[in-house]
Amino acid sequence: MTPSGPLGRRSVLAGLAGVAGAGALTLAGRAAADDADTDPYEALLARAEQQLTGGAFDTEDPDFAAALTALDTQAAAWWQQLDTSAGRTALWPDLSPASDPGMFGQSYPRLRTLATAWATPGTSLTGDAAVLAGLVDALRLLHSAGYNETRSESGNWWFWEIGAPRALLDTCVLLRAHLPADDLAAYLRTVARFVPDADRRTNSPSLAETGANRADKAVIVALRGLLARDAATLALARDGLSDVRGGGKNSLFQYVTSGDGFSTDGSFVQHDCVAYTGTYGSILLGSAGQLIALLAGSDWAVTDPAVTVLHEAVERSFSPVLFDGVMMDAVRGRAISRERARDHTDGAMAVSYILQLADGAPQSYADRWRAAAKGWILRNKETPYAGLVGVPALARAKAVLDDPSVRPADWLTGHVVFADMDRVVHRRRSWAYALSLSSRRISAYEAGNGENLHGWYTGDGMTYLYDGDDLDAFGDGFWPTVDPYRLPGTTVDTRARTDLGTGGGTSTFRPKNAVAGGAVLDGQYGAAAMELVADGSTLRAKKAWFCLDNAVVALGADITASDGRTVETVVENRNLHADGAPRLVIDGHRQPSGPGWSASLPDARWAHLEGTGGYVFPARGPLRALREERTGTWRALNSGADTGGSTTPVTRRYATLWFDHGVSPAGASYAYVLLPGASAATTAVWSLSRPVRIVANDATVQAIESPRLGLLAAHFWAAGTAGGLRTDGPGTVLVRRQGQRVTVAVADPGRTATSLTVHLPFPVRRVLRADDTVTVAPGRRPVLTVRVGGSRGHTHTAELA
């Protein structure tokens, strides 16, 4: 395999995807190989087993060492700790009693890991008769004490309908040649009781399953059908993906305009209002892709032509939010609080699911996906892919990495507005910038079941700067140690907050603002805005961002509050890791490098943080700066039953820059420019030459102009004028003039208007191209009339001359 860094670093078992190449057969596979030639169910069960173990691979290949070691280490530890005593009420002391859904819900995945190690060549448990006997006995204990068809659901429904049955059936697939028939029948009856189909929530039959939950259940139903050798159940599983019984209303292969699923703009929403591409979206991709691969070529193959929605999602939904294989936290929801599911881990899973889907996708898609995956894997040296995935995913990646005909794709560049989930991503070579917004349509955060306890401001305009030279900025202990009141990009009331999501179930908070989103021009430049209506505070603010070639301009206006507390806008709060001491230079003067330094800088013009980039302050202060060392625990963020973090202290250093707007500000404002990757000298020159001019920053309009690009960009909060550009109402407008060619982009991120009239500041003779929603009246004072109503905040464009 092409080297991608140390194979053993931060190994994580994550092996639910993939079929490997040639080599030794797995143990269960040898037992069933003869039957597979004549029994269609056994042939698919053998395929399901390969998806769990990686199938045939060379156990002596050093490329698999980290994955095998991770599997063996974890499985051996759980095997040693397994309680086999008479009268036991649980399998492990930390998961007692087994009658509790949270306890059996976590016990089954451990048994699956043990079974996987038993069935996979090259582990210390491979083929061990004692392990096999112990697994059979352990399954009986969990069935009798916890998960059986006589019980009614209690606690978290997910353990009953997805978590436990999925792990149970995976284990049964691996042990199928050795399970007593009566045992298997009892387990299948139990699963049928709680997961009869993929269509409905068993504990709430009026609730239709959607998105990732439907995909997970379809896999469960398929595995049940295979183990029961029931053709009708297999058809039910396949049809569940397309929601055949529901007339396609909740099909996974359709675009949605609201609620759960993929949108045409690449957004993915789950739980009705949460931006969730990086977790639930990835799970959908993985489970649907697994089922497609599992049933391929059989009488139950997935043949819905609308499966192209899933194919299009790879480049439309996932590629923009994967940076060198790291999944952006802006689309991971409450998963940011999970110690064992960092951005690198979720990114690796998404890459593995994309490669899984490529195996059965049309060649034109598969070739591009494999090239993209190769680029992601090779560029991520900080947390190599080989240390994050299990044998199945590693085998598939190895085939791509070893194939010289697959050329690694370069960095993705461009600007993407995910209007249907209030997210914006701006990408350039070696860096990316993500905006996490919220509105009355999309939640500011999701919390619950003990997860994401400090997620208060993650959707209030938080900004994420991803740098190819520091891929660990948000994955290396960021969430347990960052000051949750000072997240980059946010404007906050400094009031004390209480923990979110401490009770059962999950909940979201949708603020009352309408405006969140923006417009994209030529696929490369963008403007975005958000009206901040703070939770539990009188704080209001108008925030805008303008994304250019090598800079992001952030403006804030009309910042007002009356609660008697200080209001701040955070420019940066950069993770410097455990012992980082990069140079911080402000106006040419190097500042102290150790934790504990702070300063008030009322007249600062620019700052530069080594390894991150430059910051320019066109309106100067009142700027504050701080270097600090912060200690926290993952447990303080997540006390979930199966995702709770450790109480081990984590310490990281931070460099923080913020504007202090004072107590109860009235009409305060701010302006700063981020120059990712710029040197101190470049930053200093930029602050003097001002290649981007702030045209307006008030309650009516926020606008900038870049003469070099010929670009004028504005967000109008009401009818107004900026730089000669005029509108008759609120909206986002970008205009670029290059020689005789003029391009225009318009959007209504507030979704409140039916049409927007835009007056351009220079003459236009003719229309080269325009969306059917755009009417142009050329002339010395050209006018565009844009039908924005019903467009859900998406961009309308025209090309003029």
Per-residue pLDDT reduced to its tens digit, 574-591: 999 999 999 999 999 999
Backbone phi, then psi, for 758, in 5-degree steps?
-120, 125
pLDDT band, very low/low/confident/very high, at 23 (cuts 50, 70, 90):
very low
pLDDT in tens, 331-342: 999 999 999 999
Average pLDDT estimate for 202-214: 96
Whole-angstrom distance, CA of residue 649 vs CA of residue 125: 34
- The confidence score (pLDDT) of residue 42 equals 97
Q: Which of 393, 348, 389 is nearest to 70 (CA)?
A: 389
- Report CA-CA distances (Å) from 380 to 371, 388, 469, 611: 15, 12, 9, 17
Q: Is the pLDDT of residue 186 over 70?
A: yes
Q: Among 54-68, 515-529, 702-716, whose mean pLDDT is lowest?
A: 54-68
- Tokens 């053998």 belong to residue: 46
pLDDT grade, residue 31 (50/70/90)?
very low
Is the N-terminal amide bond of 602 cis, ω within 30° of 0? no
- Please indicate whether residue 697 is annotated as part of the active site: no
The single-letter DSSP state of residue 63 is G
- Please give the backbone phi and psi of residue 469, each rounded to the nearest 5 degrees, phi first: -95, -5
708 burial (CB, 10 Å; 0-12 / 13-18 / 19+) is exposed
Residue-wise pLDDT tens digits, 587-620: 999 999 999 999 999 999 999 999 999 999 999 8
Residue 710 neighbours by CB under 8 Å, 6+ apart: 736, 737, 738
Tokens 């030794």 appear where?
A: 24
| CA 255-260-265 angle, 5° bins | 45
In the prediction, which pLDDT does 35 show? 62
Of 147, 250, 271, 353, the active-site residue reads 271
What pLDDT, on the 0 to 100 scale, is given for residue 34? 53
Q: What is the pTM of this model?
A: 0.93
Give dist(CA 619, CA 671) in Å, integer.
6
First-residue to last-residue Cα distance in the chain: 52
User: According to the model, what pLDDT value does residue 621 have?
Assistant: 77
| Percentage of the chain exceeding pLDDT 70 | 95
Q: Residue 29's pLDDT is what?
A: 47
- Within a 10 A sphere around the Cβ of 689, how many other Cβ atoms? 8
**Cα–Cα distance for residue pair 788/751, rounded to 1 Å:** 8
If pLDDT is split at 50, 70 and 90, which confidence band does 266 have? very high
Helix axes 101-119, 65-81, angle to 10 degrees: 130
Residue 6: is its pLDDT beyond 50?
Answer: no
Q: How far apart are CA 446 and CA 439, in angstroms?
A: 13
- CA-CA distance, 713 to 703, in Å (whole number)? 6
Query: Cα 546 to the chain's mean position, in Å?
Result: 23
Distance CA(799)–CA(801), nearest Å, equals 7
DSSP state of 315: I
Q: Which residues are CB-neighbours of 713 under 8 A, at least 6 positions away?
A: 521, 525, 527, 546, 703, 704, 705, 733, 734, 735
Is the predicted pLDDT of residue 247 greater than 80, yes or no?
yes
Confidence at 25, pLDDT banded by 50, 70, 90: very low
The per-residue pLDDT for 469 is 93
Amino acid at 402: D
Cα(465)–Cα(484) distance, integer angstroms:
17
Nearest to 658 by CA among 687, 629, 625: 625
Confidence (pLDDT) at 713: 98
Contact 204, 194 (CB under 8 A): no
Classify strands 268-270 and 261-262 as parallel, antiparallel or unpaired. Answer: antiparallel
8 A C-beta contact, residue 619 and residue 670? yes
Would you call 493 helix, strand, or coil by DSSP?
Answer: strand
Axis-axis angle for helices 282-295, 40-53 (nearest 10): 140
Read off the tokens for 594: 């150790």
pLDDT at 38: 78
Q: What is the pLDDT of residue 36?
A: 59
Compute the average pLDDT of residues 376-396: 95
Q: Which of 703, 558, 546, 680 is nearest to 616 (CA)?
A: 680
What pLDDT is stored for residue 504 in this prediction? 87
Contacts of 298 (CB under 8 A, 6+ apart): 40, 43, 44
**Count of other CB atoms within 10 angstroms of residue 688:** 9
pLDDT tens-place string over residues 494-540? 999 999 999 888 999 999 999 999 999 999 999 999 999 999 999 99
Confidence of residue 383 (pLDDT cuts 50, 70, 90): very high
Q: 485 catalytic, yes or no?
A: no
Over residues 691-706, the pLDDT tens digits come to 999 999 999 999 999 9
Condensed to tens digits (0 to 9), the pLDDT of residues 328-371 reads 999 999 999 999 999 999 999 999 999 999 999 999 999 999 99
DSSP state of 201: E
Residue 796 and residue 746 in contact, taking contact as beta carbons nearer than 8 Å: yes
Q: Which of 213, 449, 573, 575 is catalytic?
A: 213
Q: Which of 643, 677, 646, 651 is nearest to 345 (CA)?
A: 643
Pairing of strands 668-676, 584-586: unpaired
Average pLDDT of the chain? 94
Q: Are 213 and 162 in contact, with CB atoms under 8 Å apart?
A: yes
| Rg (alpha carbons) of the chain, rounded to whole number | 27
3-state DSSP assignment of residue 793 = coil
Task: Give the pLDDT score at 30.
Answer: 46
Whether 250 is catalytic is no
pLDDT in tens, 444-475: 999 999 999 999 999 999 999 999 999 999 99
Please report, for residues 14, 115, 714, 766, 770, the alpha-carbon distance to residue 775 in angstroms, rounded to integers and kept in the order given: 52, 64, 20, 12, 8
- Measured distance CA(599)–CA(473) in Å, rounded: 24
pLDDT over threshold 90, residue 18: no
Q: Distance (Å, rounded) from C-alpha 520 to C-alpha 413?
A: 13
d(CA 144, CA 167): 17
Reading the block at residue 109, the tokens are 């995945």
Distance (Å, whole) CA 633 – CA 388: 22
* CB 530 within 8 Å of CB 442: no
586 phi, psi to nearest 5 deg: -125, 120
Instruction: Label residue 667 by pLDDT band (50, 70, 90).
Output: very high
pLDDT greater than 70 at residue 4: no
Q: Which two tokens stand for residue 573?
A: 């709060």
**Given the residues 276, 280, 365, 654, the one annotated as active site:** 280
